[in-house]
Structure 1
Amino acid sequence: MEDLKCENIARYISNIQRKCGTFFLKELAYLGIGYGQFLFLMELYNSDGIRQEDLSEILNIDKGTTARAIKKLESEYFIVRNKDKEDKRAYRVYLTQKALDKKKEIYEVAIKWENNITQNLTIEEKNIMLSLLKKVHIEECKR
C-alpha cells in the first residue's frame, strides 16, 4: 500500500494551544494565574458582573472547569462572587480592583502572544486567519 502522509489541522491547533498555555503560564506566573484563568479574566473585562453559568456558556467551557478557574481567581483576589439577587442559586462574578489595576498588563501579554504567532504573516494573512478561525469556531459551537 502507498505510504500515506496526511497534514492534520488538529495537530497544528493542538501544538499552538500547548505553546499558548506555556507562554501564558510563564508570562502571568508573577500574578499567580495561567491561561485558563486568563480566558475568564478577558471575558470579565467585557462582561463584569456576569452570571458564572453564562460565563461557562460564552467561553464554551464546562461548569466544573469554570468553577475551578473562578476559585483560583478568587484565591488570587482577581474576582469576587456574589449571589444573584434574582436567582439565589446563581452567582455573579465581579472583577476586583486588583483585576482592574492589572488589566493593561494582562492585555499586553495577549498582544505579545498574538504578535509572536503572527510575526511572519502579512496584515492580509492575519485578517484571513482571524476570519477562518472565527468561522470554524462559530460552526463548532453550534454542534
Structure 2
Amino acid sequence: MNYSNKSIGKNISILHRFSQAYIVRKLREYNIGSGQYPFLITLLKNDGISQEEVSHMLHIDKGTTARAIKKLEEQGYVYRIVDEEDKRVYKVYVTEKAQDVKKSLFKALEAWRDVLMKNFNEDEKKKTVQILEKMTENVILYTKEND
C-alpha cells in the first residue's frame, strides 16, 4: 500500500475533534470544557505543581495555561498558592470538588480509549501507543529546533 498519499494530519484532526466532542459531552454536567480538562487531568495526577510545570508537561504556552487554570479556579476545581520560595510562582492544588469529579473524568477517558482501540489486539494497542509517542517526540523536537 502506498502511504505517501494517506493523510496523517487529516486523521489526527478527525480523531481530535471526535475526542473533544466525546469528552465535553461526558463532562457537561461538571461544566468542564475541552479547554480545561487536560489541565485538570494533569493537576489531578500532579497536585501542587506550578503553572509553569503544567505548561511544560502539556507543551502549551503559559498564557493558555494561566487562562485554563483561572477558569478551573473560578469553577472551584483548583486553587493557587504563591510559592514560599519564589513569590513569582503559583503552585496549583486540586479541591475536593475536583477529587469528586476524578472518577468520572478518568472513566470517560478510559471508555474513549476503548472506543479508539476496539478490535485491536494487545500488540496493536501497544504499537499504536508507541507510534503516537514517537510522533509526539518528533513534533516536540522539531518545534524546539525551529522556534
What is the TM-score when the length of structure 2 is the normalising length?
0.89
User: Who is 2:72 aligned against?
Assistant: 73
Asked if residue 43 in structure 1 is aligned to residue 42 in structure 2, the reply is yes
Residue correspondences, number? 139
Partner SS state of residue 44, structure 1? helix
Partner SS state of residue 36, structure 1? coil
Q: Deviations 1:106-134 (Å, cap 9, x if unpaired)? A: 11011011011111212211111001111
User: Who is 2:140 aligned against?
Assistant: 141
Q: CA deviation at 1:100?
A: 1.1
What is the TM-score when the length of structure 1 is the normalising length?
0.91
Stretch of structure 1 that moved more, 107-116 or 38-47: 38-47
Q: Deviations 1:72-93 (Å, cap 9, x if unpaired)? A: 1111111001111111111110
Partner SS state of residue 102, structure 1? helix
User: Who is 1:130 aligned against?
Assistant: 129
CA–CA separation in structure 2 for the residues paired with 1:54 and 1:95 = 15
Describe how 1:16-55 pairs up with structure 2 within 5 A: 16-55=15-54
Identity %: 39
CA–CA separation in structure 1 for the residues paired with 2:110 and 2:59 = 22
CA–CA separation in structure 2 for the residues paired with 1:48 and 1:88 = 19
CA–CA separation in structure 2 for the residues paired with 1:53 and 1:111 = 27
Asked if residue 109 in structure 1 is aligned to residue 108 in structure 2, the reply is yes
Partner SS state of residue 92, structure 2? strand
- Unaligned runs of at least 5 residues, structure 1: none
CA–CA separation in structure 1 for the residues paired with 2:33 and 2:112 = 13
CA-based RMSD: 1.3
Q: CA deviation at 1:35?
A: 2.6
Where does structure 1 differ by over 6 angstroms across 4 or more consecutive aligned residues? Answer: none
